[in-house]
Chain A
Amino acid sequence: MERSYKAQKVIDRLGQKLNRQVVGSLVACVHCGNCTDSCHYVLANPDDPTYAPAWKGDRLRKIFKKHFDWTGRVVPWWVGAKSPETDADLEELKDIVFGKCTNCRRCTMNCPMGVDFATFNRLTRGLLVHVGIMPEGVAVVSKDQWELGNQMGVLKEDYIDTVEWMSDELVDEVGDDKAAIPIDKSDVEVMYTINPREAKYDPRTISDAAKIFWAAGESYTMPSEGWDMTNFGLFSGDDELGGTVSRRVYEKAQALRAKKVVISECGHGYRSTLCEGANWAQFDVDFVMESSVQTMLRYIKEGKIKVDKSLNISSYTYHDSCNFARSCGMTEEPRELLNLVVSDFREMYPNRAENYCCTGGGGAMSMTEYTPQRLKSARVKADQLKATGAKVVVTSCHNCVDGLTDLIKHYGLDMEVTQLVNLVANSLLVEKAAEVPEAEHAVSTTLAFAGRTILVVDDEADARRFIATVLEDNGATVLQAVDGDEALQMMRDKKPDLVTLDLSMPGKDGGRVFEEIRNDSELSGARVCIITGKPELRRLIYERPVREPEGYINKPIQEDVLVSNLRRILELTNKAA
Chain B
Amino acid sequence: MTASHLVTLVPSLNDARQHSWGAFMCAENREKKVNGRTIRLLQHDITLLEGVDAFVFYAQHDLRLGSGWGNAIMSRGGPSIQKELDALGRIETCQVVVTGAGELKAKHILHAVGPRFQEANLEAKLKKTVSEVLAQADKAGLESLAIPPMGYGFYGVPLPMTAKVMVDTIKEHLESHKDSKLKDVVICLNDKREIAPFESRLSALN
Comparing B34-42, B75-83, B198-206, the segment that makes contact with chain A is: B75-83
Q: Establish whether residues B71 and A5, one from each chain, have CB atoms under 8 Å apart when the complex forms.
A: no
Q: Establish whether residues B191 and A131, one from each chain, have CB atoms under 8 Å apart when the complex forms.
A: no
| A451 to B: closest C-beta gap in Å | 25
Assembly CA distance A146 to B189 (angstroms): 12
Q: Establish whether residues B20 and A225, one from each chain, have CB atoms under 8 Å apart when the complex forms.
A: yes
Closest to B70 in A: A143
User: Quick check: is A130 within 8 A (CB to CB) of the other chain?
Assistant: yes
Measured between beta carbons, the chain A residues less than 8 angstroms from B68 are 143-144, 146-148, 153
Q: Establish whether residues B66 and A147, one from each chain, have CB atoms under 8 Å apart when the complex forms.
A: no
Measured between beta carbons, the chain B residues less than 8 angstroms from A251 are 192
Assembly CA distance A160 to B16 (angstroms): 8
The number of chain A residues touching the other chain, given as a range, is 35 or more
Measured between beta carbons, the chain A residues less than 8 angstroms from B76 are 155
Interface residues of A in 1-40 (CB under 8 A from B): 5-6, 9
Measured between beta carbons, the chain B residues less than 8 angstroms from A576 are 74-75, 78-79
User: Quick check: is A132 within 8 A (CB to CB) of the other chain?
Assistant: yes
Q: Establish whether residues B72 and A544, one from each chain, have CB atoms under 8 Å apart when the complex forms.
A: no
Q: Establish whether residues A149 and B21, one from each chain, have CB atoms under 8 Å apart when the complex forms.
A: yes
User: Quick check: is A300 within 8 A (CB to CB) of the other chain?
Assistant: no
User: Quick check: is A224 within 8 A (CB to CB) of the other chain?
Assistant: yes
User: Quick check: is A157 within 8 A (CB to CB) of the other chain?
Assistant: yes
Interface residues of A in 516-554 (CB under 8 A from B): 521, 524-525, 544, 547
Assembly CA distance A156 to B46 (angstroms): 13
Q: Establish whether residues B153 and A544, one from each chain, have CB atoms under 8 Å apart when the complex forms.
A: no
Also in contact, A157 and B193, with CB within 8 A (given A144-B68, A521-B79): no
Chain B interface SS verdict (over half): loop
Comparing B1-9, B24-32, B113-121, the segment that makes contact with chain A is: B113-121
One of A139, A146, A156 near B20 (C-beta < 8 A): A156
Q: Establish whether residues B16 and A184, one from each chain, have CB atoms under 8 Å apart when the complex forms.
A: yes
Q: Establish whether residues B66 and A143, one from each chain, have CB atoms under 8 Å apart when the complex forms.
A: yes
Measured between beta carbons, the chain A residues less than 8 angstroms from B116 are 132
User: Quick check: is B169 within 8 A (CB to CB) of the other chain?
Assistant: no
Measured between beta carbons, the chain A residues less than 8 angstroms from B21 are 149, 225-226, 248
Closest to B45 in A: A156
Mark each residue of chain A from 310 to 334: 1 if its CB lies under 8 Å from any CB of chain B, else 0: 0000000000000000000000000
Interface residues of A in 145-171 (CB under 8 A from B): 146-149, 153, 155-157, 160-161
Also in contact, A143 and B156, with CB within 8 A (given A251-B192, A525-B79): no
Measured between beta carbons, the chain A residues less than 8 angstroms from B19 are 156, 224-225
Number of B interface residues in the complex (CB < 8 A): 31
Chain A interface SS verdict (over half): helix
Measured between beta carbons, the chain A residues less than 8 angstroms from B75 are 155, 547, 576
One of A155, A241, A247 near B72 (C-beta < 8 A): A155
Measured between beta carbons, the chain B residues less than 8 angstroms from A146 are 68, 153-154
Measured between beta carbons, the chain B residues less than 8 angstroms from A157 are 17-18
Mark each residue of chain B from 79 to 95: 1 if its CB lies under 8 Å from any CB of chain A, else 0: 10001000000000000
Measured between beta carbons, the chain A residues less than 8 angstroms from B18 are 156-157
Measured between beta carbons, the chain B residues less than 8 angstroms from A139 are 67, 154
Interface-centre pick from B67, B76, B153, B193 (highest chain A CB count, 10 A) = B67
Closest to B193 in A: A247
Assembly CA distance A9 to B122 (angstroms): 13
Q: Establish whether residues B66 and A130, one from each chain, have CB atoms under 8 Å apart when the complex forms.
A: no
Interface-centre pick from A155, A160, A244 (highest chain B CB count, 10 A) = A155
| B150 to A: closest C-beta gap in Å | 13
Measured between beta carbons, the chain B residues less than 8 angstroms from A141 are 67
Interface residues of A in 46-76 (CB under 8 A from B): none
Interface-centre pick from A131, A139, A147 (highest chain B CB count, 10 A) = A147
User: Quick check: is A140 within 8 A (CB to CB) of the other chain?
Assistant: yes
Closest to A544 in B: B67
Assembly CA distance A352 to B129 (angstroms): 52
Q: Establish whether residues A148 and B69, one from each chain, have CB atoms under 8 Å apart when the complex forms.
A: yes
User: Quick check: is A442 within 8 A (CB to CB) of the other chain?
Assistant: no
| A78 to B: closest C-beta gap in Å | 33
Q: Establish whether residues B190 and A147, one from each chain, have CB atoms under 8 Å apart when the complex forms.
A: yes
Q: Establish whether residues B117 and A130, one from each chain, have CB atoms under 8 Å apart when the complex forms.
A: yes
User: Quick check: is A103 within 8 A (CB to CB) of the other chain?
Assistant: no
One of A148, A224, A577 near B71 (C-beta < 8 A): A148
Assembly CA distance A374 to B29 (angstroms): 52
Closest to B48 in A: A156
| B68 to A: closest C-beta gap in Å | 4
Measured between beta carbons, the chain A residues less than 8 angstroms from B69 are 147-148
| B185 to A: closest C-beta gap in Å | 20
User: Quick check: is A142 within 8 A (CB to CB) of the other chain?
Assistant: yes
Add 14 more A-B contacts to A147-B67, A153-B71, A161-B17 (CB < 8 A): A130-B117, A130-B118, A130-B156, A140-B66, A146-B153, A146-B154, A147-B154, A148-B69, A156-B19, A157-B17, A247-B192, A248-B191, A544-B71, A576-B78
The 10 closest A-B pairs by CB, nearest first: A132-B117, A147-B68, A143-B68, A146-B153, A157-B17, A143-B154, A140-B67, A146-B154, A153-B71, A143-B67
Enumerate chain A interface residues (CB-CB to B < 8 A): 5-6, 9, 130-132, 139-144, 146-149, 153, 155-157, 160-161, 183-184, 224-226, 241, 244, 247-248, 251, 521, 524-525, 544, 547, 576-577
16 A-B pairs within 8 Å (CB atoms) are namely A5-B120, A132-B116, A132-B156, A139-B67, A143-B67, A144-B67, A144-B71, A148-B69, A155-B71, A155-B72, A226-B21, A521-B83, A525-B78, A544-B71, A547-B74, A577-B78
